[in-house]
Structure 1
Amino acid sequence: MNTLTARIRRSFSALTLSQLAMIGAAMAVAVASRLLPHPPNFTPMAAIGLFAGAVCLRPAVAASAIVGAMLISDAFLGFHSLMPVVYGCLLVNLAIGSRFVRGANGLDFGAASCGRMIAGSLIGSVLFFLATNFAHFVAFYPPTFSGLVACYTAAIPFFQFTVAGDLVYAGVLFGSFALVSMKSGAFAGAGRFVAQSASTR
C-alpha cells in the first residue's frame, strides 16, 4: 500500500500546473456527468480510461482521476457493495487503451486507429456488462441458472446506454485530441501523431 501511494505521489509531482488543471477539469466534468440527469450508464468514465491509456497518461495518474471522480460522485449518489467491481471494470479501460487502441509507435489518427478506438470501446462496454451484472447476480439473485438468465435479461435495456455513452464520449475525446493536434502542427507526413508528454509512461 505504501509503495502504491508513493508511486501515485511521484506521478503527480511530475505533472505541470496546466496538466493538473486539465486533470481536475476532466474530473469535474466526469462528476457532473454522473450527478446531472442522464440516461442510465451514459457517462464518460469508461471513455476517459480508454483515452488516458491510449495517449500515454501515467497509469497511476489516470487511475487516481477515475477513482477520485467515482468516489466524489458516489458520495452524493450513495456507496454500494458492488463498487469494487464497477471501479475495476472502469480501470480495465486503461489497459485496453494502452494495449489495444494505441499502436506500437503511438496514436496514429487514421482508419485503423478509428477502428481500434471503436472496437476498444465496445470491448470495454461488453466487459462492464458481463462483470458487473454477474456480480449483481451473485449478490442479489438466486444462485440458479434461471436467476442468472433473469439478471442478464433485466440488464439488457441498460446495455444500449452503456454502449452509446462509451462510444459518444470516446468519439468526443479522441476527436477533440485529433483536432487540437492538427491545429498545433503535431501531425507529420501523412498525419501520424505519436502521443508524448511529460506524463509519458
Structure 2
Amino acid sequence: MNPNNNLQRFAIVLSMIGIAVASRLLPHPPNFTPLAAMCLFAGAVTISPRIMAAAVIVAMLVSDSMLGFHSLMPVVYGCLLANFVIGRKLLGANANAMKVVAGSLIGSVLFFLVTNFAVWVAFYPSTLTGLAACFTAAIPFFQYTLAGDLVYSGLFFGVYALATSGLTVTQGKLQRVRVPVRTGE
C-alpha cells in the first residue's frame, strides 16, 4: 500500500473509524473505548482535517444515538476533538512510538481533568471538598481511559504503519514489496 495515495489513506482512516464505532457499542470496561485513540490517529494521518473532524463527530453521534446522550456531551466531544488537534500538531506525519505514547497520555490526562471538572461544576458541591470527592470518584475510570487510549492508539498506529510499510505476508513469510519510485521524466 502506498501511503501517499490519498484514497488509500482515507479508506484506512474510515475503516478504523467504523471499527472504533462498532467496538464502542460492544460491552467493555468503563471508559475503555477507542474514540480518543481514533481522534489522535485521525489527526495524525489525515489529508483533510475538516472532513476527519466531521467524521469524528458523526462517529460519536451515531454511537451516542444508540447509547444515549447526557448534558455533558459537548464537553466530551470537545475533549475528543482536542485529541484530534494533539494528533495533528504533536504527531503529524512524523509519528513514532514515543510520540504516540506521549499524545495518548496528554489526551487521557486532558480528558480526565476537563470532563471531571465539568462533572464537579454540574453535580457536586462547589467546594474544595466537592472537587476532591469528584476527582476521587473518577480515579477508577481514569485507569480504564488511560489503558484504552494506549491500547487503541498502539493498535491504530501499528496497523497503519504495517499497512503502509510495503511489507506483505507470502507463503507464511513476511516480505518487503519493492514499490517502484518514479523519477522526473
Matches within 5 A, 1:65-84: 65-84=55-74
Q: Could you tell me which runs of 5 or more consecutive residues in structure 2 were left unpaired when the two chains were aligned.
A: 1-5, 168-175, 180-185
Instruction: Give the aligned length.
Output: 166
- Aligned pair in 2 of structure 1 residues 53, 23: CA closer, same or farther (>3 Å)? closer
Match of 1:87 in 2: 77
Match of 2:115 in 1: 132
1:107 aligns with 2:94: yes
Secondary structure (helix, strand or coil) at the match of 1:152 reads: helix
Identity of aligned residues (%): 58
Match of 1:34 in 2: 24
Q: What is the deviation of 1:68?
A: 0.8
- What does the per-residue CA deviation read over 1:2-55, in whole Å, with 9 as the maximum and x for residues that have no partner? xxxxxxxxxxxxx75x66655553333222222110011111111111111111
Secondary structure (helix, strand or coil) at the match of 2:94 reads: coil
Matches of 2:47 and 2:178 in 1, distance apart?
19
2:166 to 156, 175, 183: 183
Matches of 1:31 and 1:107 in 2, distance apart?
26
Matches of 2:162 and 2:17 in 1, distance apart?
22
Q: What is the deviation of 1:77?
A: 1.1
Match of 1:47 in 2: 37
Q: What is the deviation of 1:186?
A: 9.4
1:63 aligns with 2:53: yes
8 Å contact 2:17–2:38 — kept in the other structure? no
Match of 1:194 in 2: none
**Aligned-partner residue type, residue 27 of structure 1:** I
RMSD, aligned CA: 2.3
Match of 1:155 in 2: 138
Match of 2:15 in 1: 25
The structure where strand makes up a greater share of residues is 2
Q: What is the deviation of 1:98?
A: 1.4
- Which TM-score applies when normalising by structure 2? 0.81
**Aligned-partner residue type, residue 37 of structure 2:** A
- Aligned pair in 2 of structure 1 residues 89, 31: CA closer, same or farther (>3 Å)? same
Q: Could you tell me which runs of 5 or more consecutive residues in structure 1 were left unpaired when the two chains were aligned.
A: 1-14, 189-201
8 Å contact 2:39–2:81 — kept in the other structure? yes
- Aligned pair in 2 of structure 1 residues 135, 38: CA closer, same or farther (>3 Å)? same
**Aligned-partner residue type, residue 84 of structure 1:** P
Q: Look at both structures and tell me which one has the larger radius of gyration over its CA atoms.
A: 2
Matches of 1:90 and 1:63 in 2, distance apart?
10
Match of 1:116 in 2: 99
- Aligned pair in 2 of structure 1 residues 25, 176: CA closer, same or farther (>3 Å)? closer
8 Å contact 1:55–1:107 — kept in the other structure? no
